[in-house]
Amino acid sequence: MFSKHQFIEDCAKAVKDGQAAVRELVQEAVSAPDGIYKELGTPSKAGIDLLHRSSDLTVINFIWSPYMTLIPHNHNMFAVIGIYNGREDNVFWKRGEDGLEAAGADSMGAGDVATLGHNIIHSVSNPLGKYSAAIHVYGGDFFEPDEPRSEWDHETLQERPWDVETTRATFREAEERYLAHLAAAE
């Protein structure tokens, strides 16, 4: 059964052994989503639920509003993403002469785990009309990394410094749009 405290403790040990060791823990956690629901609740509101933060490890429960999209960004640290509810579509990008160029994509459903290397750039979408949720484990401080992070404008694909407040606003605005849609449908 999933225990937030035990999961964080295990990740803190595993991060010293690298991304593959963390992946095993995330895979085990998302293979039994009922335990996560019991510990963290059923996804019912978009947001960034910080579970743990230190200089070498960040654990976040991301909950994506229906049809929400997050702009291309990097982490400058490894990431392990485990989906336990819904779906997460990732577009992977590479740097080009005129900004970013699409380099691939992956669609993940409940029980799937992705590993993102230090230099990966990706954008994320929830294509479903329901909440999607994932445990994200980072090999560093997600909010204040050793190397400054970047994000890219959706339309122009031009790089700019990553801003956590822009990310928080994206989650907040997506939730507001979804709730307004629900209210209009009543």
Asked whether the beta carbons of 127 and 136 are under 8 A apart, the reply is: no
What dihedral angle (degrees, nearest 10) is formed by the CA atoms of 171, 158, 140, 83? 50
pLDDT confidence band for 162 (50 / 70 / 90): very high
pLDDT digits (tens, 9 = 90+) for 107-159: 999 999 999 999 999 999 999 999 999 999 999 999 999 999 999 998 999 89
Q: Reply yes or no on whether the pLDDT at 173 is more than 90.
A: yes
Query: How far apart, in Å, do the first and last CA atoms of the chain sit?
Result: 38
Residue with the larger pLDDT of the pair 167 and 186: 167
The dotted CATH code for 4-185 is: 2.60.120.10
Q: Reply yes or no on whether the pLDDT at 97 is more than 90.
A: no
When the pLDDT of each residue in the chain is averaged and rounded to a whole number, the result is 95
pLDDT recorded at residue 62: 97
pLDDT digits (tens, 9 = 90+) for 103-121: 999 999 999 999 999 999 9
pLDDT recorded at residue 46: 95
Domain ranges across the chain:
4-185
pLDDT recorded at residue 98: 78
Q: Reply yes or no on whether the pLDDT at 186 is more than 90.
A: no
**pTM of structure:** 0.94
pLDDT digits (tens, 9 = 90+) for 51-94: 999 999 999 999 999 999 999 999 999 999 999 999 999 999 99
pLDDT confidence band for 1 (50 / 70 / 90): confident
Asked whether the beta carbons of 42 and 129 are under 8 A apart, the reply is: no
